[in-house]
């Protein structure tokens, strides 16, 4: 039997025990979140690899995913890594069980449009459906969701993982994940939610001790290091396991033995230098190998040898020779995915490239992926990392990707795509369209930029229908924020702009305005005067008129009920007969100046 990878970890007994307990929780039907936090290179990925091995030995099904620096905009990218392979591998009967009940809401996210479910589900429905998909999966066998590099996960996936983490108690499922500290993230709130989940167990792997560093060095050099050499290595690397190994690799390449004579040279080395030792190692290789390494760094999770060769400008035989050189230098593994041994290596190579070179490479990759018929999100992800050059196709692609993200209930990704599309530059009318799209996505994502985008639309256009549309969107946004007086004024202005130009848009404005006007004592008289017109608008029988019809029906019922109650309780000359039902509703039901 192949030994579990955890057996080779140094000074990680406590963390391995935590993993075993989390897996035991899944077997007992009481899962939780085990979250390992720490800086790059501290050994989080190695712990998650050990978790996968130990889960296999314990009979717990592993579904794994990993956040990527270049894939943070992909809607539900990590979720798809976790669940798509399982769903696609399932037979017809098993798939029917997995997507039974509320889990059907998750089908478009996991299986794509071919799943046949209606697109455009609200975010909560999609997240709830994903939860039930995991629950259905866990009823067939205990499950461990293993997620590396949460800090680079997309917002939609993080939202789901935070939702799931709060509901693991009572499920035969557990989550084991890692998050890198010191990394900026636009979706840090979701990471914080995960960290604060009820029952979450947080662990921070410590730096290696002097003895631990000496053990790693002995393994790398094939001989026990001098005590002073090991101590200096500990000081230089801070006991970071990855940096210790990278330092040992660099010294081995330079034929420097782990003796006291090498201490002086070590003292002049710092962690920032060590983080780039791979670049120094690449300096010994051919230019073709270096170019291939750079192409792999830019491709990120999309790296495949044919693609990397195209980006590097290499033909097939040249790419194979360069690949062998990278394997021999232990920069990339000999099999499996074309990726670096550690994200720090990719970052070091990527950060050395000039901005213009990076932009050109990402645009070239986007063109390659488009020619291959790759997924829209993969193409858009690279376009996000390009410099604007006024390319119309870039705008079209990003807008299409935004539409797909909205259909999947991922407004955060849609907003990112549309923001970048705006930067590309376009003529006024198309910019107005993009601004409206972006405002809608930002509103769904509950982001603060909505008002600014809508105000820019109103500034750029003279079209009364477009201006009214922007006002209505703005009115709805400020109403949610509690500023109803501003919302009402915007709706009145929008209705004035519309006139008879767009009945459907006027219907929406009246539907938004109605609940505030019907139950505000200051506006109730005006609302009563508008009732005949509102009834005519609602009577067209369209689907869009139903909310207004319900409002009017509720208003009338409320008025009748409160008039009857007032008449019964009035002790006097019966003057209630002369009181308007709407005024009675206003006086009886409400306090203050706004709806309850």
Give the C-alpha separation, 234 to 231, whole Å: 5
Query: Do the beta carbons of residue 394 and residue 424 sit within 8 Å?
Result: yes
- Residue 589: what pLDDT? 41
Q: Which two tokens stand for residue 360?
A: 């050109």
Q: For residues 65 and 147, is the Cβ–Cβ distance under 8 A?
A: yes
Taking the C-alpha atoms of residue 93 and residue 76, their distance in angstroms, rounded to an integer, is: 25
Element housing 596 (H / E): none
Distance from C-alpha of 156 to C-alpha of 154, rounded to nearest angstrom: 6
pLDDT confidence band for 585 (50 / 70 / 90): very low
Q: Are 173 and 23 in contact (CB under 8 A)?
A: no
Bridge partners (DSSP) of residue 63 are: 145
Highest mean pLDDT among 296-310, 510-524, 548-562, 577-591: 296-310
DSSP assignments along 147-216, one per residue? EE-GGGS-HHHHHHHHHHHTT-TTSSEEEEEEEETT---TTHHHHHHHHTSTT-EEE-PPPP-HHHHHHH
63, 110 contact by CB (below 8 A): no
Strand, coil or helix: what is 45?
helix
Asked if 68 and 149 count as a contact pair (C-beta separation under 8 A), the reply is: yes
Mean pLDDT over all residues of the chain?
Answer: 83
Cα–Cα distance, 509 to 278 (Å, whole number): 61
Question: Has residue 210 got a pLDDT over 70?
Answer: yes
Q: Are 208 and 244 in contact (CB under 8 A)?
A: yes
How far apart CA 262 and CA 256 sit, in angstroms, is 7
Q: What is the pLDDT of residues 283-314, one digit of tens each?
A: 778 899 999 999 999 998 888 999 999 999 99
Per residue in 125-145, pLDDT tens? Answer: 899 999 999 999 999 999 999
468 by Cβ neighbours in 10 Å (0-12 / 13-18 / 19+) ranks as: buried
Cα–Cα distance, 71 to 438 (Å, whole number): 20
Q: What is the distance between the alpha carbons of residues 496 and 483, in angstroms, rounded to a whole number?
A: 20
- Run of H or E including 62: strand 61-66
The pTM (predicted TM-score) of the whole model is 0.76
Half-sphere exposure of 136 (CA within 13 A, CB side): 23
pLDDT above 60 for 5 = no
Strand partners, 65: 147
Is 68's pLDDT higher than 90? Answer: no
Residue with tokens 């005519």: 536
Q: For residue 581, is pLDDT > 80?
A: no
What is the number of other CB atoms lying within 10 angstroms of the CB of residue 449? 15
Sheet holding 173-180, edge to edge: 61-66, 143-148, 173-180, 33-38, 201-203
Residue whose token pair is 């050990």: 50
Place of tokens 């209630």: 576
Q: Give tens-digit pLDDT for 83-94.
A: 999 999 999 999
Q: Let me know how long the chain is.
A: 596
Least confident of 37-51, 75-89, 277-291, 438-452: 277-291
Give the model confidence (pLDDT) of 186-199 as tens digits.
Answer: 566 778 888 888 88
CA 151, CA 364: separation in Å to the nearest integer? 27
State yes or no: pLDDT of 7 exceeds 60.
no
The string of pLDDT tens digits covering residues 381-413 is: 999 999 999 999 999 999 999 999 998 888 999
Is the pLDDT confidence value at 268 over 70?
no
Contacts (Cβ under 8 Å, ≥6 apart) of 399: 417, 418, 421, 434, 437
More confidently predicted of 582 and 419? 419
What is the rounded CA–CA span in Å between residue 435 and residue 455? 10
Percent of the chain, pLDDT > 90?
Answer: 51
């Amino acid at each position: 039997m192949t030994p579990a990878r955890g057996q080779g970890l140094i000074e990680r007994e406590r963390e391995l025990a935590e993993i075993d307990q989390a897996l035991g929780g899944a077997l007992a039907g009481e899962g939780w979140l085990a979250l390992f936090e720490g800086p790059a290179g501290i050994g989080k990925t190695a712990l998650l690899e050990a978790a996968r091995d130990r889960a296999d030995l314990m009979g717990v099904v592993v579904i794994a995913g990993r956040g990527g620096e270049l894939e943070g905009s992909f809607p539900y990218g990590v979720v798809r890594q976790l669940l798509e392979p399982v769903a696609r591998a399932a037979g017809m009967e098993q798939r029917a069980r997995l997507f039974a009940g509320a889990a059907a809401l998750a089908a478009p996210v996991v299986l794509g449009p071919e799943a046949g479910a209606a697109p455009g589900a609200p975010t909560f429905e999609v997240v709830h459906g994903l939860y039930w998909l995991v629950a259905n999966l866990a009823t067939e066998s205990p499950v461990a969701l293993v997620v590396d590099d949460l800090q680079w996960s997309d917002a939609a996936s993080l939202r789901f993982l935070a939702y799931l983490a709060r509901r693991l108690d009572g499920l035969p499922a557990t989550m084991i994940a890692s998050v890198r500290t010191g990394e900026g993230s636009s979706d840090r709130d979701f990471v914080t939610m995960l960290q604060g989940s009820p029952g979450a167990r947080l662990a921070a792997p410590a730096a290696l001790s002097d003895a631990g560093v000496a053990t790693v060095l002995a393994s790398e050099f094939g001989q026990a290091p001098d005590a002073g050499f090991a101590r200096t290595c500990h000081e230089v690397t801070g006991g970071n396991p990855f940096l210790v190994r990278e330092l040992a690799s660099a010294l081995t390449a330079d034929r420097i033995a782990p003796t006291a004579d090498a201490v002086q040279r070590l003292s002049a080395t710092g962690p920032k230098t060590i983080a780039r030792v791979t670049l120094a190692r690449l300096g010994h290789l051919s230019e073709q190998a270096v170019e291939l390494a750079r192409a792999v760094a830019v491709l990120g999770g999309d790296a495949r040898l044919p693609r990397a060769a195209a980006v590097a400008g290499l033909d097939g035989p040249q790419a194979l020779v360069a690949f062998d050189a990278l394997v021999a230098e232990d920069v990339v593994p000999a099999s499996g995915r074309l990726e670096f041994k550690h994200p720090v290596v990719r970052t070091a190579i990527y950060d050395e490239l000039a901005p213009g070179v990076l932009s050109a490479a990402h645009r070239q990759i986007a063109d390659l992926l488009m020619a291959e018929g790759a997924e829209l999100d993969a193409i858009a992800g690279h376009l996000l990392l390009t410099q604007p050059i006024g390319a119309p196709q870039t705008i079209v692609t990003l807008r299409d990707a935004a539409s797909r993200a909205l259909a999947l209930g991922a407004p955060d990704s849609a907003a990112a795509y549309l923001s970048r599309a705006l930067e590309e530059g376009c003529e006024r009318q198309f910019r107005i369209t993009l601004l409206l799209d972006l405002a809608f996505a930002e509103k769904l994502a509950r982001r603060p930029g909505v008002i600014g985008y809508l105000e820019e639309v109103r500034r750029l256009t003279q079209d009364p229908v477009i201006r009214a549309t922007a006002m209505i969107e703005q009115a709805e946004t400020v109403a949610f924020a509690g500023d109803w007086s501003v919302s009402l004024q915007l709706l009145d202005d929008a209705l004035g702009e519309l006139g008879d130009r767009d009945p459907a848009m006027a219907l929406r404005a009246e539907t938004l305005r109605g609940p505030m006007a019907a139950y505000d004592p200051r506006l109730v008289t005006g609302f009563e005067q508008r009732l005949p017109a509102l009834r005519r608008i609602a009577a067209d029988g369209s689907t869009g008129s139903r909310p207004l019809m319900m409002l009017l029906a509720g208003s009338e019922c409320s008025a009748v009920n409160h008039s009857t109650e007032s008449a019964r309780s009035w002790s006097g000359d019966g003057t209630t007969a002369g009181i308007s039902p709407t005024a009675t509703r206003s006086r009886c039901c409400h306090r203050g100046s706004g709806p309850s």
